[in-house]
């Protein structure tokens, strides 16, 4: 089925309907919903990066990127894990409504991923907790699990915190994340556009920018398993 498509960007109407249907943000899970305009641009950006790939692994999708990506990239198998059952239920409703056979929604905590069998994905997308109070742990934990789920040579996009005048913790997290990804054999390209905006943000001026990650040398850096309890987020 082809519904609401305009080349590689989903139609404004489809994005609006989907954005309006999202469950209210649960801030205890670091949910802050991307605005519908940012959502549309972000899906276009991801489609331009991964549209020709076979599979993508996504952790967390309160924004509802995954059904939009699945519909405009019909050859891409999209697998998403998400802790929030409300988000999973809504994503499944959209999967049925759009007749998507290339979207797999799994209600799972990132902390349980090691006990399951995720491997061999050729790309990933992570929009991690920005981790202002735990020295960037959430950023690295999301990237760590994504890299475990992907094959040695893979590509990914990580939505990183961005501010016009970055606070110290933002700069520190950039540096720590760069070091972490480098230790796993990744090179990093920073893309400013699109800068994504969110509703009800915690830090004034906070947006996200994409880091395009290319893992070409399969090094094993220091593992960063996701912390238990709130320590994962703050
Ligand atoms: C971590 S939030 C961050 C969003 C964005 N960085 C922001 O600040 O607006 C992104 C998604 O991850 C999900 N998530 C949070 N904790 C998770 C966990 N332990 N396992 C799997 N998904 C999780 C959230 O429910 C949400 O859908």
Structural domains of the chain, with CATH = 5-21+28-232 (3.40.50.150)
Give the model confidence (pLDDT) of 129-143 as tens digits.
999 999 999 999 999
Q: Which atom of ligand 1 is nearest to the CA of 110?
A: 20
Q: Which atom of ligand 1 is nearest to the CA of 208?
A: 6
Mean pLDDT of 163-170: 94
Q: Which residue has the higher pLDDT, 194 or 156?
A: 156
Mean pLDDT of the chain: 94
> What pLDDT, on the 0 to 100 scale, is given for residue 203?
86
Q: 């290339």: which residue's tokens? A: 102
Inform me whether the pLDDT recorded for 78 exceeds 90: yes
Inform me whether the pLDDT recorded for 2 exceeds 70: no
Judged by average pLDDT, the poorest of 2-11, 24-33, 95-104 is 2-11
Inform me whether the pLDDT recorded for 9 exceeds 90: no
Asked if residue 84 has its Cβ within 6 Å of ligand 1, the reply is yes
Mean pLDDT of 61-77: 97
Q: Which two tokens stand for residue 71?
A: 């519909």
Exposure of 117 by Cβ count < 10 A (0-12 exposed, 13-18 middle, 19+ buried)? exposed
Cβ neighbours around 92 below 10 Å, total: 15
Asked if residue 109 has its Cβ within 6 Å of ligand 1, the reply is yes
Residue 144 half-sphere exposure, CB side, CA atoms within 13 Å? 22
Rounded-to-integer distance, Cα 30 and Cα 75, Å: 31
> What pLDDT, on the 0 to 100 scale, is given for residue 116?
66
Inform me whether the pLDDT recorded for 6 exceeds 50: no
Q: Please choose from 31, 57, 112 the residue to mutate so as to test ligand 1's pocket, defined by most ligand atoms within 8 A of CB.
A: 31
Peptide bond into 194 cis (omega under 30): yes
Give the model confidence (pLDDT) of 25-45 as tens digits.
999 999 999 999 999 999 999
Q: Are 160 and 211 in contact (CB under 8 A)?
A: yes
> What pLDDT, on the 0 to 100 scale, is given for residue 200?
82
- Angle, CA of 146, 152 and 156, to the nearest 5°: 45
Q: Which residue's CA is the closest to the ligand 1 atom numbered 24?
A: 60
Q: How far is the CA of 144 from the centre of ligand 1 (A)?
A: 15
Q: What percent of the chain has pLDDT over 70?
A: 96
Mean pLDDT of 116-120: 85
Exposure of 197 by Cβ count < 10 A (0-12 exposed, 13-18 middle, 19+ buried)? middle
pTM over 0.75: yes
Q: Which residue's CA is the closest to the ligand 1 atom numbered 15?
A: 29
């Amino acid at each position: 089925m082809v519904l609401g498509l305009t080349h590689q960007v989903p139609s404004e109407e489809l994005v609006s309907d989907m954005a309006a249907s999202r469950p209210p943000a649960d801030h205890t899970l670091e949910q802050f919903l991307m605005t519908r305009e940012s959502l549309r641009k972000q899906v276009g950006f991801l489609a331009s990066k991964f549209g020709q790939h076979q599979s993508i692994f996504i952790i967390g999708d309160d924004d509802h990127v995954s059904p939009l990506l699945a519909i405009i990239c019909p050859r891409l198998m999209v697998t998403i894990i998400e802790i929030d059952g409300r988000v999973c239920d809504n994503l499944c409703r959209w999967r049925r409504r759009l007749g998507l056979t290339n979207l797999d929604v799994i209600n799972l905590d990132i902390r349980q991923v090691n006990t399951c069998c995720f491997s061999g994905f050729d790309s990933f997308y992570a929009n991690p907790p920005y981790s202002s109070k735990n020295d960037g742990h959430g950023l690295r934990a999301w990237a760590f699990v994504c890299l475990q789920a992907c094959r040695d040579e893979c590509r990914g996009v990580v939505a990183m915190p961005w501010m016009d005048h970055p606070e110290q913790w933002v700069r520190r997290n950039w540096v720590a994340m760069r070091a972490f990804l480098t230790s796993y054999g990744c090179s990093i390209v920073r893309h400013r556009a699109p800068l994504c905006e969110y509703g009800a943000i915690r830090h004034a001026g906070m947006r996200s920018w994409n880091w395009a990650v290319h893992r070409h040398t399969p090094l094993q850096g220091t593992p960063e398993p996701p912390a238990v309890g709130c320590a994962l987020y703050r």
